[in-house]
A and B are shown apart, each in its own frame.
Chain A
Amino acid sequence: MSEQNLKTSLLGFSLNSPLMGASGTFGYGVEYAHMVELPKLGAVCGKGLTLHGQYGNEGERLWETPSGLMNSIGLQNPGVEHFIQVELPEMEAQLRPAGVAIIANLGGHSEEEYEEGAALLSASSVDMIELNISCPNVKQGGMVYGVKAEAAAQVVRRVRAACTKPLMVKLSPQAEDIPAMCRAVEKAGADAISLTNTFQGCAIDLEKRRPVFNNIFAGLSGPAIRPLALRMVWQAVGAVNIPVVGLGGIATGRDALEFIMAGAQAVQVGAANFVDPRVINRIYDEMADWMQANGVKSLDEIRGCARG
């Protein structure tokens, strides 16, 4: 095991590493806490919350694709207040002692809901809020705000005003114009940007002669989307001056380093956790090994280096 330093600063926090469990794939972190070596885990982005709990979508929720996974969970969650009372204390007990930052992911069905949810989370012990304006699986949900830059800016402005925590805004690849979207949410008060959420896809069940998913479209994640996500992260880094957290199909140390070299401050690991719940350990080790083999002591030396 090499002695490279993967400590990562983000919005005033010194993270154990640049690796975060991505929202929706990592539960509330406690499910993985005994399989991942916590000193290698920078942060956990909890399962997406909405002000009021919701069941999520009926029908198929999962569908495998080549090197990927489509999901249509539909933001099943217990609601913000339940999270603060039940899930957050468990995260505090298991993650906090190991220095893993706790990030609450917040979705919503209206600007008022976002605002109220953010205010509640602001008064809790979470370290940051990741604002989900990009869930493709909720009809009246975040997606509306994920496509149009002006709609996104509007909701970010309102949440910013209601929120005292560092605010990271998670963008959708369905945004009409990624650089314009990034600039709009930066101007509206975002402290950081994370991208991308899942790509909208579709699958047809031949036997039923119907779409697999009740919502017809669902979100594609996994290595299949990685080059697409990396392109958007590259664009985001070029568009704004706030930190960009990259995600989309990261499954190896080399994948993570690609995002870092594109300029990402940190990265999130999503669907790969399903393939191997210990994958973050391996990604960390592979990053450290690459750094050692290439004489790199800190990620700061190579962050954004590919941009020349």
Chain B
Amino acid sequence: MPAVCCDSVVLDQIALTESVRLLSASWNDPEHLPHAGQFFMLRCWGMGEGPFLSRPISLHYWDPGKKMVEFLYEIKGEGTRRLAQLEAGDAIQLTGPSGNGFDAQAIPQRARLALVGGGIGTAPLYQLARELNARGIRPDGYFGFRDEPFAMESFRGLCGVVRVATDSGRFGFHGLVTEMLEPENYDLILTCGPVPMMRGVYSKCAAAGVRCLVSMENKMACGIGACLGCTCHTKEGPRSVCKNGPVFEGSEVFGE
């Protein structure tokens, strides 16, 4: 189902940490229902008023009853700074849902799963954990942060084990999230976070012979597969992160 572009309304925005925000907006298009791992292009400024391009933000949570999409994002630059100023009732342009996302329906119900998130890369894993739980699959969660974890409570009811690592050692395990992970205990590992982390997760998975899906990120202009600005190398040749991804087999992007 191709992406659509809608003029939507902000429902709420809350600050989880100094730099992390949870933004909810209405999504009323019944023909374009989002799922985990997909993303939207967000924009709340006119041409010439802010950054030229919209900002790709992954879906954190989708509530079909409330017709509400939630985005968990980190303020990193001018675009996200503008998004952070939004309040309930403000207008927001949403283009999506884009990308392939994770296919929770294709995962065998008896599979042993681990979700591995790094920093703001934990955002799409919440919707994924919900979709997996809806299928009766309870994944384990491994989450790494620089210093301060966020949005972890929401995972506790959805995951078997929730383990947190911080670079600073302030919370949880002092070190990298990849150090805590033992892939041989799982049939499939799904990861989203900084590329070095995902490469590390993939390497451990590959060594253990465990399948690994990674959610990639790149700068995007269109977010719908038209501009080829976000192309990444894969074993199958060039692929658009926005259209063919963002979810790829780890071996496709990190394999030898």
Which stretch of A154-162, A166-174, A266-274 is in the interface? A266-274
Q: Which of B54, B93, B226 contacts A31 (CB 8 A)?
A: B226
Known: A73-B229, A275-B53, A275-B54. A31 touches B47 (CB 8 A): no
Known: A60-B219, A275-B54. A31 touches B229 (CB 8 A): no
Residues of B within 8 A of A278 (CB): 5
Q: Which of A60-94 contact B (CB under 8 A)?
A: 60-62, 64-69, 71, 73, 76
Q: Classify chain B: how many residues form its interface, as a range.
A: 20 to 34
A64 and B51 within 8 A (CB) = yes
Interface Cβ pair total, 8 Å cutoff: 98
Q: Which of B2, B233, B238 contacts A34 (CB 8 A)?
A: B2
A35 and B228 within 8 A (CB) = no
Residues of A within 8 A of B54 (CB): 274-275
Residues of B within 8 A of A272 (CB): 47
Which stretch of A19-27, A95-103, A117-125, A189-197 is in the interface? A19-27
B227 and A25 within 8 A (CB) = yes
Q: Which of A1-52 contact B (CB under 8 A)?
A: 24-27, 31-32, 34-35, 47
Residues of B within 8 A of A56 (CB): 228, 231, 238
Interface presence of A108 (CB below 8 A)? no
A31 and B231 within 8 A (CB) = no
Residues of A within 8 A of B238 (CB): 55-56, 76
Q: Which of B160-205 contact A (CB under 8 A)?
A: none
Residues of A within 8 A of B2 (CB): 31, 34
Nearest chain B CB to A68's CB is how many angstroms away? 6
Nearest chain B CB to A194's CB is how many angstroms away? 19
B231 and A69 within 8 A (CB) = no
B226 and A27 within 8 A (CB) = yes
Binary per-residue interface labels of chain A (248-284) against chain B in the complex, 1 for a CB within 8 Å, 0 otherwise = 0001000000000000000000011111111000000
Interface presence of A222 (CB below 8 A)? yes
A271 to B2, CA, bound (A): 20
A67 and B224 within 8 A (CB) = no
A274 and B219 within 8 A (CB) = no
A-B contact pairs, 19 of them (CB 8 A): A27-B226, A32-B226, A55-B231, A56-B228, A61-B228, A64-B52, A64-B53, A69-B221, A71-B221, A71-B227, A73-B229, A251-B47, A274-B53, A274-B54, A274-B222, A275-B43, A275-B53, A277-B3, A277-B224
Which A residues contact B (CB, under 8 angstroms)? 24-27, 31-32, 34-35, 47, 55-56, 60-62, 64-69, 71, 73, 76, 222-223, 251, 271-278
Which B residues contact A (CB, under 8 angstroms)? 2-5, 43, 47-48, 51-54, 93, 95, 219-222, 224-231, 233, 237-238, 243
